[in-house]
Amino acid sequence: MEKTPRYWGVFVSMSAYSILVTSSPYDQAGSASAVRFCQHLLEEGHTLSQVFFYQQGIYNAFSTMAPPNDERNRFEEWKALHDACGTPLRVCITAGEKRGLVLSTDANQPELAHPFEQTGLGEFFTALHDSHRLVQF
């Protein structure tokens, strides 16, 4: 069965985008594509309303990830994106907790670190009302 693309976006001038990330940071190429797409959106003058991490996408929020020195740190890339434009980085609380991502001060636990926020599908869908486009990676 031929795999169809997972995103159906067209660039429209000055649009507000919501981004849905369901790809894990290193096992799939989607999260790298998502970061690049968001960067280009901002360069083109669009609004990045939110990034919502769902399913394996929540692994992008692990502050404890430690890739080799010659590979990109996806957590740091998302953090840099947030620092550049203030876009909320929302992590699905159910998907996160199921996979062990917790709000914890225990250094041995993967911790949800700023600027990622632990939220639910409700916040995502509420914000989606104000977005022109939703793109999934």
CB 44 within 8 A of CB 11: yes
CB 121 within 8 A of CB 95: no
The minimum distance between CB 123 and another protein, in angstroms, equals 9
- C-beta closer to another protein: residue 114 or 129: 129
CB of 38 to another protein, least distance (A): 17
Judged by beta carbon, residue 94 or residue 109, the one nearer another protein is 94
First to last CA, the chain: 20
Give me the residue label for tokens 């599908």.
121
Which one, 71 or 130, has the nearer CB to another protein? Answer: 130
85 is catalytic: no
Smallest distance from another protein to CB 45, Å: 21
Residues of this chain that interact with another protein (CB under 8 A) are 1, 4, 6, 8, 20, 22, 54-55, 94-95, 120-122, 124-126, 128-129, 131, 133-134, 136
Q: CA 108, CA 5: separation in Å to the nearest integer?
A: 38
Bridge partners, 92 (sequence order): 119
Least CB distance to another protein at residue 34 (A): 14
**Per annotation, catalytic residue among 81, 92, 93, 112:** 92
Q: Where are the alpha helices (DSSP H) in the chain?
A: 30-43, 74-85, 93-98, 121-128
The set of catalytic residues is: 92
